[in-house]
């Protein structure tokens, strides 16, 4: 649990500028960087806001990422041990354990992710983490912190199930073929699979961003958000931020 806590803190904070770019590219009306590449978007923010613009909301990330990762790995290992039935190489068990871990960790992280993304926006009206939490609670209620939870689970559960099942299978195969180099090769496979899966699920991540950044539930349903994204960004707009998301998740693993 401690290892998961530390790992979650370090990797999310190290990749935070990329996450900021992804959020701004996806958010409706956030800032004029939607059609830019990642490098140009970073330069645009640096020119207009300075380095601090890339790190708005990092306090919320710090508060949420550590506990969420500790829960994630603890639940995954517990479920894998509980469901294995003496067969630690069962891919179905790995997939199911990953889904349980995702549901639990998303419940912990989603409220702080809402705060983080609202602070990341270029036109954010909040002064900081505490100000955002207080105002959202006062003006929108606690349910605003979980407006995107269902979408987040729909996005992350299948992603995690496939990823963990594939990873465990590849890990066994590499150990049988080349035990000495298995660790290095496994990292490459894991990172590649994570990046590809992240890019594929970018449309759902874009929907999640809109749900978390909305004020007073202006978007009634997931379908309404999809229509709004298509109207705002045009064909392929739901993949805005895919490069940043792919890079973030590839390095995460």
Q: How far apart are CA 75 and CA 2, in angstroms?
A: 13
Q: pLDDT at position 233, please?
A: 65
pLDDT exceeds 90 at position 207: no
Q: pLDDT at position 134, please?
A: 97
Do 33 and 27 touch, CB atoms closer than 8 A? no
Average pLDDT, integer, range 4-11: 64
pLDDT exceeds 80 at position 148: yes
Classify the phi-psi angles of 31: left when phi > 0, otherwise alpha if psi is within -120 to 50, otherwise beta: beta
Q: Tell whether pTM > 0.75.
A: no
The band of 33, judged by pLDDT with boundaries at 50, 70 and 90, is very low
- Average pLDDT score over the chain: 77
pLDDT exceeds 90 at position 111: yes
DSSP 18-58: HHHHHHHHHSTTS-TTTTS-HHHHHHHHHHHH-GGGGSTTH
Q: pLDDT at position 186, please?
A: 56
Which segments of 126-177 does DSSP mark as H helices, in order? 129-139, 149-177
Residue scoring higher pLDDT (93 or 133): 133
Q: pLDDT at position 58, please?
A: 93
- List the Cα angle 165/167/168 in 5-degree steps: 70
The region of weakest confidence among 56-65, 102-111, 152-161 is 152-161
Q: Is 182 exposed, middle or buried (0-12, 13-18, 19+ CB in 10 A)?
A: middle
Q: pLDDT at position 249, please?
A: 56
CATH superfamily, domain at 2-252 = Mitochondrial carrier domain (1.50.40.10)
The band of 234, judged by pLDDT with boundaries at 50, 70 and 90, is low
List, for residues 182-206, the tens digit of each pLDDT value.
555 556 665 666 666 677 777 777 7
């Amino acid at each position: 649990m401690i290892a998961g806590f530390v790992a979650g803190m370090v990797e999310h904070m190290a990749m935070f500028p990329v996450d900021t770019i992804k959020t701004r590219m996806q958010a409706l009306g956030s800032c004029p960087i939607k059609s830019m590449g990642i490098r140009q978007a970073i330069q645009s923010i640096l020119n207009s806001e300075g380095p601090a613009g890339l790190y708005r909301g990092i306090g919320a990330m710090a508060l949420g990422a550590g506990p969420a990762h500790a829960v994630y790995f603890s639940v995954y290992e517990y479920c894998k041990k509980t469901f294995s039935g003496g067969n630690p190489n069962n891919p179905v068990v790995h997939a199911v354990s990953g889904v349980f871990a995702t549901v639990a960790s998303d419940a912990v992280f989603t409220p702080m992710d809402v705060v983080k993304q609202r602070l990341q926006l270029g036109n954010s009206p909040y002064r900081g983490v505490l100000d955002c939490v207080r105002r959202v609670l006062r003006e929108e209620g606690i349910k605003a912190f979980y407006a995107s939870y269902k979408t987040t689970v729909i996005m992350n559960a299948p992603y995690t199930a496939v990823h963990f099942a594939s990873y465990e299978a590849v890990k066994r195969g590499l150990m049988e073929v080349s035990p000495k180099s298995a660790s290095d090769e496994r990292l490459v496979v894991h990172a590649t699979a994570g990046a590809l899966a992240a890019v594929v699920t970018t449309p759902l991540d874009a929907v999640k961003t809109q749900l978390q950044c909305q004020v007073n539930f202006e978007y009634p349903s997931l379908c309404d958000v999809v229509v709004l994204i298509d109207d705002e960004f045009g064909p392929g707009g739901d993949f805005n931020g895919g490069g940043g998301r792919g890079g973030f998740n590839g390095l995460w693993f």
